Chains A and B, each alone.
Chain A
Amino acid sequence: MDRETFNKLVLDQLPRMQQFAIRLTGDPDVAEEIMQEAMVRATRRRRTFRGESRFSTWLMRIVINAFRDHLAASRHAQSPLPEGLPDPRGDDPSRTAAAADLGDMVARMVSALPPRQREVLVLSAYEQLAPSEIGGVLGITEQNVRTNLHHARQRLRNQLAAYAPEVRP
């Protein structure tokens, strides 16, 4: 692929990748940092894109690697509970949930999943990739993808059950 086409493709993909990074991190500022690092890596690895996968998945792999390095550097890999959630043990969980924005809350819960589960869920639910493609992006087996996806959904169900009883397993 010639340089001009490559530059244009990256530019076209920037908004999507930025949104992808925001979903992974839950923080637009951190996402911007990750994107900056990912862009530097993309320029260095241009020749590794040989057209065997979609350009967007090639770029996602780079963003994910930058995201993992960021986690390793900041040692915030595990955040047990998303920040700012209303306490489900409060007086009336359903009322609290209604008051809080459920959409915001779900987003924060997704972005607080363990990193691998988060990656799999975001790629599956928001990037609409098939398990085989997710496996290719993350460098894991399809079975591993399914297992992580199952655990991620299970964890979300448990956390959300107090606010949205219909998701109760």
Chain B
Amino acid sequence: MNDPHQHPSEQDPLDDLLAGARWPEPSPASQRRLEQRWLHLARQRRRRQRWAAALATAAGLLIAAGVALQLTTDGTDQPGQTSESIATAPPRESDDDDPTENPPAPSGQQPQDPEEDAFVREPTPLEAQLARLAHQQPAPRKEASQPDPLRRRITEAIDRIAERTDRADIPAEAEKLVDRAPSKRQLQRHLIRSARDGSDNRRLAAARLLAEVATEQALPDLVKLAEEPALRRVLLPAIGPLCNVEQLAALIERWDDEPARRRLMIELAGRDTRPAVERLLALAQDSRMRPLALAAAEEAPLPLDRLLDYFDDPHVEKRLAAACLIGRAADLPTLRRLARMIERDEHRRPAIAAMVCSENEQAAAFLNLLRKKRGLASVVQSLEHRMKSKPRL
């Protein structure tokens, strides 16, 4: 260990000191996390390579089939004859403008927009969710040949609400309608129709009633109606609880409307299921969505225990995202719990990160104490820097 160009034959006391240097040992949990992470990365890589190989094979087969078809066509065509293969050959460039040359979309498949065509890519899960919502069959528009009692009652209720606006007792009106309707489905269908057509006041009144009675079956119609900002405001309380996690995330991404996104994010943040928490953590790691996710954490009944489990996640970004959400939501008992974790050196770093993200004065006071502790000041400092200034967690 001697300095190579300084007395290489002598035993340098500095070498003895260097040999006796003692760094903290990595915890078994940390070693396990790294191993898990490596195995995950290796599996991911293997999957990607399999996909690439499959795609390359498919492309090769397609090219071979094309070449074979071309050769067959060249060999069998005679001048003056129109063979079947010409009739089924792909359109030439000059035929591109002819709409009849474009094959129709296969049944069950939605027509793609021009951008999609240009890149020919798989839709992301979120896009698929939105597409499913948008293309689910809305309730059929059945023109009533004669006024039925339900329709009359709905019209009357809508009139009352439209006239009284803010003073109307919407839940009571909705309850009366549900009690007297032959089925909730029928009632929804009528209300959806009324929310689509008519004067603004009446449409709004119908939407308010719809928000009270809507079930999952009405979700595609609710989402379509909610594309209109005025209706969105009244329909949101119904849409949030009816959406599944992927639909919530898709709408949060899609609607460029801060209050609506915030409301949906709160709905997502309050769900105590693994998929919901995974999605929330993904959004909290996205620099565009992070402020929204953190704001929602303050308002939603966050599933703290489930989030605390992520303190041991192999992905450091996910650990810190969970910490940040917990920090934002932390009340005094949670802060005490975090402080105990720090004192016991149990998931110390994410627990400190949670304290850093907290806007509670008690957390700030605790961090001040930590800054005075040997070995912890630099941890606090680096986490403060990371959590507050880095766009990604």
Contact = CB atoms under 8 A, between A and B. Distances in A.
Q: Report, as a range, how many residues of chain B touch the other chain.
A: 35 or more
B6 A150 contact: yes
B4 A106 contact: no
A18 interface: yes
Interface string A146-164: 1001100100110010001
A138 interface: no
B316 A33 contact: yes
B27 interface: yes
A43 B379 CA distance: 29
Given A14-B38, A32-B26, A36-B316, A43 B45 contact: yes
Interface in B4-59: 4-6, 12-15, 17-27, 30-31, 33-35, 37-39, 41-42, 44-46, 49
B23 A150 contact: no
Nearest to A75: B385
Interface stretch (A23-31, A50-58, A87-95): A23-31
Contacts of B22: 101, 103-104, 106-107
A7 B17 contact: no
B3 A32 contact: no
Nearest to B374: A84
A140 interface: no
Contacts of A33: 316
Given A32-B34, A40-B41, A84-B374, A150 B348 contact: no
Contacts of A167: 12-14, 17
B349 interface: yes
B382 interface: yes
B225 interface: no
A83 B128 CA distance: 53
A26 B385 CA distance: 18
B386 interface: yes
B378 interface: yes
A149 B3 contact: yes
A101 to B, nearest CB: 7
A54 to B, nearest CB: 19
B140 interface: no
A102 B20 contact: yes
A146 B330 CA distance: 52
A83 B6 contact: no
Contacts of A164: 13, 17
A125 B42 CA distance: 32
Contacts of A156: 14, 17-18
Contacts of A110: 18, 21
Contact of B35 (A14, A27, A84): A14
A80 interface: no
A76 B378 CA distance: 10
Contact of B24 (A11, A28, A43, A84): A28
Interface in B355-393: 374-375, 377-379, 381-382, 385-386, 390
Contacts of A125: 1, 15, 18-19
Interface of B: 1, 3-6, 12-15, 17-27, 30-31, 33-35, 37-39, 41-42, 44-46, 49, 315-316, 348-349, 374-375, 377-379, 381-382, 385-386, 390
20 contacts: A14-B34, A18-B34, A22-B23, A27-B382, A28-B30, A29-B30, A31-B26, A32-B30, A33-B316, A36-B37, A39-B38, A43-B42, A73-B390, A74-B386, A84-B377, A102-B17, A106-B22, A124-B1, A125-B19, A153-B14
Interface of A: 3, 7, 10-11, 14-15, 18-19, 22-23, 26-33, 35-36, 39-40, 43, 73-76, 79, 83-84, 101-104, 106-107, 110-111, 121, 124-126, 131, 146, 149-150, 153, 156-157, 160, 164, 166-167
